[in-house]
Structure 1
């Protein structure tokens, strides 16, 4: 393969990888792309099945054999593409070898990791080298955390003044068919969560290394509402989400301050439950799972019996196609700040409500988002900050057309301005 492909989807035979391949012909139209993994026969079958779904012959799509246990094969893959779309997790175990190979080859890397230890660890270890090699490494490019990150970008673009804080309120609607599995996620996601929780202390040390010493103390401070509460126009009871989007958005705000001396935006995110009982019980279950993940024996039980500990939300088979298709989400963004006429020493008087919404967010939307960010890196490199680095999506794509691009696709996202209150 003399000429580099524009993109390679690595881990294409996995649950998420197959969905990424399904959406690649639409999103990567006009670009050259291939798929990679360990098993040639399985990779051929992925292309065959995807081709039948969309009515296209994908048999000519290049297949590259690569295995995280064989570092040379990963290096060879990285040298064959301009950007690697990495679907192979948990990234704590399988991610670094791909990131390192990509950076050394000067190849860009995007993934869907929501694992803060991996994300911050790669930034501490490889950010300077990535800049030197002009390679962009961007994690959290799926549902975790493109809607939140680009939702913050969209809110700030439409806020006529200076933003102090943003709170998000996430609601899900799923139409489960009678007798059908209630699973919403594949066990691969569960494994990533369990291992992230089991090493939560690592995040504190990594955050300390990354945070600038002159990072400002922001006032008025945004307080977390830890008890179930309601917000106007929405029916759910909302409670804080542990980790996830908040960590990524905070990283983005750190990068804006560190590189452009921009005032950071304070951020909190909440998830909604239709039942007050679920809003009370679910955080307690999360705390229990976090505790159980700290010890080898109980951690192994969590990994062995995901359906039991997740109350049926996690399955080795993943959600059914009908469940994924009936899953709708919306994130409401409450943005508070100062009008253009106000001094920042005053109390913020202005509030903007915006919304990000879409269908099949955990998988089809995640696939589309990861493909879209890879395409943006290739086509709008001049709009990305600096010359490379290990950075977050909200910082990487703030000045690009990613929002407009995501609105084009069947499984993209809708961005709306709802109301401005002065």
Structure 2
């Protein structure tokens, strides 16, 4: 058998995969790495490579290995994972079929990163495959899209920059476009389908998270409250609403690890989403109520799946987002940290004094749904391939923060347009 490739990008014909192969091509040149591409349809894969060759003028692209693999064909997945050291999984959704790839990576002792934001899948892998991954000597890191990467590594970045102890972090996500005249969906329908599937399986998720999160974590003071009703924050213009999803649970898993394994005081986190005007908030409430009414019924779900654009104000659609829509999109994620300046508080220390110091961090970038996500995903795979000495000492299933907290991934992302910037520090009056 020929020597294993350093990396394989699986799902190269999807939109994330097509952006991903561009990043992987550039990074493989910089880092002297070998890579292949994988998917179900050979002709579509060849078309992606032809396009890349046209963009770069590099005739050697025609020699990039092509591997045919389909998540419904277990043998093809095993053959794919046996050909590389690190598998970059850009396919989805993963809750129904993703485990076949996880199992194949364990069997072939292949490191694994994926782009999943499906909480049920993320938590199931963490619970059921941790020991198997450890025995196989591999690192498995889920949630390597731009959302969880920005959130998880953003909190760690604040913890490193904060002069003292961080008690709590609130985050505010704002997304928009540079060209409001563009029409068509911002995201394809697969994300909408995943959202519906997740909402249908909330009970399963609750059971999984009851097993993941340690009930003996310290009760931190002052406790970070949750704002359940819409409010106007001071960090951005517009209205904020509570944001649920994988981002907060991933951050909480990282903080739990830091407490249990590193004896560090965890940080409390809460996440909010920004709506830029009152009418957006009204729209959100109306269609949120319609979604909640239709979801429990089979006919209702059919309606939701058939008309994604109607129920999301055109954000999701059955057709793929245009290149212009992707390239003009941007996001801005603002972190507001509060704690104590110049005072290191132990992990279990009771500290009743009110926080006296704060810091604001902002992570921002372009094309978050596809180009930015592809960059984060590919860089995650490259970190495993090139910075093994900076990963956790024990292999296993990890969050991005745990896996890459000591690597140069933040600096690498910053150089490539996903910036991490401390905006200011401020005193908190009592």
Following the alignment from structure 1 to structure 2, what is the Cα–Cα distance between the partners of residues 382 and 288?
50
Q: Is the CA contact 1:181–1:319 (under 8 Å) kept in the aligned structure 2?
A: no
Q: RMSD of aligned C-alpha atoms? A: 1.8
Q: What's the CA shift for 1:390?
A: 1.2
2:394 to 377, 381, 387: 387
Following the alignment from structure 1 to structure 2, what is the Cα–Cα distance between the partners of residues 414 and 243?
23
Partner of 2:348: none
Seen in structure 2, the aligned counterparts of structure 1 residues 387 and 304 have a Cα distance that, compared at 3 Å, is: same
Report matched runs for 1:167-246 at 5 Å.
Answer: 167-176=170-179, 178=181, 180-246=182-248
Partner of 1:84: 87
DSSP 3-state at the match of 1:407: helix
Could you report, residue by residue, the CA deviation over 1:204-228 in whole angstroms, capped at 9, with x for unpaired residues? 1111111224222222111111222
Q: What's the CA shift for 1:289?
A: 2.6
2:385 to 378, 387, 395: 378
Q: Is the CA contact 1:228–1:276 (under 8 Å) kept in the aligned structure 2?
A: no
Q: What's the CA shift for 1:288?
A: 4.0
Q: What's the CA shift for 1:84?
A: 0.8
**Are 2:420 and 1:415 aligned?**
yes
Q: Is the CA contact 2:329–2:367 (under 8 Å) kept in the aligned structure 1?
A: yes
| Structure 1 runs not aligned, ≥5 long | none
Seen in structure 2, the aligned counterparts of structure 1 residues 181 and 206 have a Cα distance that, compared at 3 Å, is: same
Partner of 1:24: 24
Q: What's the CA shift for 1:118?
A: 0.3
More displaced stretch, 288-297 vs 195-204: 288-297
TM-score for the superposition, normalised by structure 1: 0.95
Partner of 1:100: 103
Seen in structure 2, the aligned counterparts of structure 1 residues 353 and 13 have a Cα distance that, compared at 3 Å, is: same
1:308 to 307, 310, 313: 310
Following the alignment from structure 2 to structure 1, what is the Cα–Cα distance between the partners of residues 150 and 323?
22
Report matched runs for 1:37-48 at 5 Å.
Answer: 37-48=39-50
DSSP 3-state at the match of 1:130: helix
**Are 2:145 and 1:142 aligned?**
yes
2:365 to 352, 355, 358: 358
Partner of 2:298: 296
DSSP 3-state at the match of 2:274: strand
Q: Is the CA contact 2:222–2:352 (under 8 Å) kept in the aligned structure 1?
A: no
More displaced stretch, 219-228 vs 199-208: 219-228
Q: What's the CA shift for 1:296?
A: 2.9
Seen in structure 2, the aligned counterparts of structure 1 residues 201 and 291 have a Cα distance that, compared at 3 Å, is: farther
Partner of 1:163: 166
Could you report, residue by residue, the CA deviation over 1:309-368 in whole angstroms, capped at 9, with x for unpaired residues? 222111222221112111121111100112224763311111001111111111101011
DSSP 3-state at the match of 2:129: helix
Q: Is the CA contact 2:360–2:423 (under 8 Å) kept in the aligned structure 1?
A: yes
Q: Is the CA contact 2:165–2:343 (under 8 Å) kept in the aligned structure 1?
A: no
More displaced stretch, 154-163 vs 303-312: 303-312
Report matched runs for 1:252-263 at 5 Å.
Answer: 252-263=254-265
Partner of 1:7: 7
DSSP 3-state at the match of 2:334: strand
Question: Hey, which bits of structure 1, 4+ residues long, moved more than 6 A?
Answer: none
Following the alignment from structure 1 to structure 2, what is the Cα–Cα distance between the partners of residues 250 and 84?
26
Seen in structure 2, the aligned counterparts of structure 1 residues 386 and 280 have a Cα distance that, compared at 3 Å, is: farther
Q: What's the CA shift for 1:287?
A: 5.3
Q: What's the CA shift for 1:236?
A: 2.1
Q: What's the CA shift for 1:258?
A: 2.6
Q: Is the CA contact 1:197–1:290 (under 8 Å) kept in the aligned structure 2?
A: no
Partner of 1:111: 114
TM-score for the superposition, normalised by structure 2: 0.93
Following the alignment from structure 1 to structure 2, what is the Cα–Cα distance between the partners of residues 387 and 304?
46
